[in-house]
Amino acid sequence: MTREQALRHITRVCGPGWRRLVEHVYDRLPVGCTVEQVYQKWGVLRFDLSSANSSAEQLIAEVEELSTDVCQICGRQGAGEVIVNDWIETLCPQPTCFVQASKLNF
Ligand SMILES: [Zn+2]
């Protein structure tokens, strides 16, 4: 999965707020490691890698941890788990982010 494919997918399914986390991973991915899949599960940004060494695994773990605090929609920190249409999303308290997130799963 190229950086562009990953950014497009995450923007569509999660929102633009996590784009910089995707960029963060692609900027630091060790040579030889490629991203197979990127997705959100239980409010956390997840990456599946083709092959992973310990530095790649550490990078992914850091970004998963970071994602629990970053609003999927606006990218602000201080976000938390919010239930939207029976899905767990990671959102800040702004009502506009909730409204935008509620449109994602349809
Ligand atoms: Zn937000």
Count of CB atoms situated within 10 Å of the CB of 7: 19
User: How remote is the CA of residue 59 from the centroid of ligand 1, in Å?
Assistant: 24
- Model confidence pLDDT, tens digit, residues 62-104: 999 999 999 999 999 999 999 999 999 999 999 999 999 999 8
Residue 1 has pLDDT above 90, yes or no: yes
- Model confidence pLDDT, tens digit, residues 9-35: 999 999 999 999 999 999 999 998 999
Residues 6+ apart with CB under 8 A from 23: 3, 7
Which structural domain range is residue 71 located in?
3-102
Sign of the C-alpha dihedral, residues 55, 77, 1, 31?
A: negative
Separation CA 37–CA 53 (nearest Å): 17
Separation CA 10–CA 54 (nearest Å): 25
User: How remote is the CA of residue 51 from the centroid of ligand 1, in Å?
Assistant: 33
pLDDT band at 105 (very low <50, low <70, confident <90, very high): low
User: How remote is the CA of residue 98 from the centroid of ligand 1, in Å?
Assistant: 8
37 and 48 Cβ atoms separated by less than 8 Å? yes
Count the domains in the chain. 1
